[in-house]
Amino acid sequence: MDKSYVTMAICPICHEETGDILMDPHLRDSFERRTITPEPCETCREKYLSVGVLIMAPKTGRVAVIKNEAFLNLFNMELPPKKIAFCEEAVMDHLLAPISEDPSPSDEDPSPK
């Protein structure tokens, strides 16, 4: 078999090899030596998906893990069966945007002088 159809699966969270080998000449023309897949390794699955959901933007490979409660509140839908969900890049931008805080109070004393 042509080696261009064989790749090592990489965890999308920690980027370590999962131990899985992927082979499929119909999936794409060729693979890189290592390919990030939506399936996390066992360590990350136990550590992160036991309390949250992996959200992945397939086009860029950006990922975020949010707590189960946050997923339910943000998306108003049931948890995905494997606790892995895919989203558009705009959704990922929103999820990963820095949380804006209220401006800190001014050092000036607002009381009349």
Residue 84's H or E segment, with its range, is strand 84-86
Strand stretches in 11-83, DSSP E: 17-23, 34-36, 52-57, 62-67
The residue to which tokens 């980027």 are assigned? 15
Q: For position 32, what pLDDT does the model report? A: 66
Read off the tokens for 55.
Answer: 């959200």
Query: Which residues make Cβ contacts (< 8 Å) with residue 17, sequence separation at least 6?
Result: 8, 9, 10, 11, 34, 41
Cα–Cα separations (whole angstroms), residue 35 to 23, 30, 41, 54, 72: 11, 11, 13, 17, 30
Identify whether the C-beta of residue 45 lies closer than 8 Å to the C-beta of residue 37. Answer: no
Query: Model pTM?
Result: 0.73
Instruction: Return per-residue pLDDT of the chain as tens, 113 residues.
Output: 455 667 888 999 999 999 888 876 655 555 567 778 889 999 999 999 999 999 999 888 899 999 999 999 999 999 999 999 999 999 999 998 876 555 455 555 544 54
Domain map of the chain by residue range? 1-39, 49-97
Q: For position 113, what pLDDT does the model report? A: 46
